[in-house]
Each structure stands twice: as C-alpha cells, then as structure tokens.
Amino acid sequence: MAGLAATGGTAGAGAPTPPRTGQPGHLFHLAATEPNNFDGGWLRGANEQNFPVLAGQQGSVYLAHLDPGGIREPHWHPTAWELNYIVSGTAKWTILGTHPDGEYHNDVFTAERGDLVFAPTGLFHYFENASTTEPLDVLIVFNTSTAEPDDDIGIVGSLNAIPRDVLAASFGVPESAFAQVPQRIEPVVITRRR
C-alpha cells in the first residue's frame, strides 16, 4: 500500500479507494519531516501538533540521529516514560535510578542495533553515540502526545536555574568551581563531544 495517502487514495492501479473514516489521517511521513537540527545531530518527530490523530492518545514518536561523538543531553521527563529502539549504530546509556536504600543506582550499558532500552518516568538518563566514525539512529516512543522536548528537563537548564552558591554547597566545593559554567544557554537537546 505504498501509494495510499493519509486521507484516502488508491493502493495501486485498479485498487478501490478505501473508505474515509472521518478521522485525521493515519499515515505520517516521519522521514519527510523537517528535522530539528542541533550541534551533534537532529530530531524528527510525530506528536499531536503535527500528526493530529495523536491528539489525546498519549503517544508520540521521534527519530534521534546522533553524529559520531553526538550526545543526547542528560535529562528526565516528569510525566512520560520512553522506549528506545536502536535502529542503527551503538549507544552508550546511563540511567540514574532512585536511592531507597541510601545508594544511587546507576545503570550504565551499551545498546546495539535491534536492542530496546526503557527509561522510566522521572529517571535521569542520557545516551551517546559510542562510535567515532558511524552515526547512531534511535527510534523513541513516549507515552505523551506533547512535542519533544516540551516534556524534557535537561541538565543544562537545571544547573543554570540553581544559584552558584547552592551548587557549590551541594557539591561541597568552592563557588569558584562553577565560575566557568555559562549562566545563560539555549536548550541543548543534542550536542557533541568537544
């Protein structure tokens, strides 16, 4: 049915036109969408803003492309979990869990083509391209219909929202330790190693 349009059409010569459902189109051309470009790669997505059939469905999907050396900014989602499918390449992952026993639990691992990675709601996580020569492509499914990164709290914004003296006290270091950290930065989303 490669020729079938989102709102009806033909599936080929002589094929009948499927009936219209009265609903928004059910086909979305993810690869044809304009990517959001970042320093270390790009992000393409389908959400309720650009794929109306998702409105109220609590679902969205994104294709994250990380160039060699690319890093998805460390972040968490306060209202959504995410399921990540490695389409191509190799990813290094870190997921920081809670500490009910007094110890933080870091899950650090490598995921390869065909692997699934689940990041639970609210857990701090990130992934990076493990290769210095090959790109990484990850298909990400969220249980929210909002546009990414609208349900995303990144480490850069988080650290910039905290006064330097509070950061210093939290880390147990002099305030001067944070002197080189820029205080006003645009959202990062995807970056790269320098």
Q: What is the pLDDT of residue 13?
A: 53
pLDDT tens for 60-99 read 999 999 999 999 999 999 999 999 999 999 999 999 987 7
As a whole number of angstroms, the distance between CA 79 and CA 145 comes to 11
pTM of the model as a whole: 0.82
Chain position carrying tokens 């080189």: 180
Contact 139, 43 (CB under 8 A): no
- Which domains does the chain show, CATH number per domain? 36-192 (2.60.120.10)
Per-residue pLDDT, averaged over 162-176, amounts to: 95
Q: How many CA atoms lie within 13 A of 82 on its CB side?
A: 28
Cα–Cα distance list, 171 to 33, 161, 166, 167 (Å): 42, 16, 9, 6
Q: CA-CA distance, 15 to 103, in Å (whole number)?
A: 62
Structure tokens belonging to residue 108: 């650090």
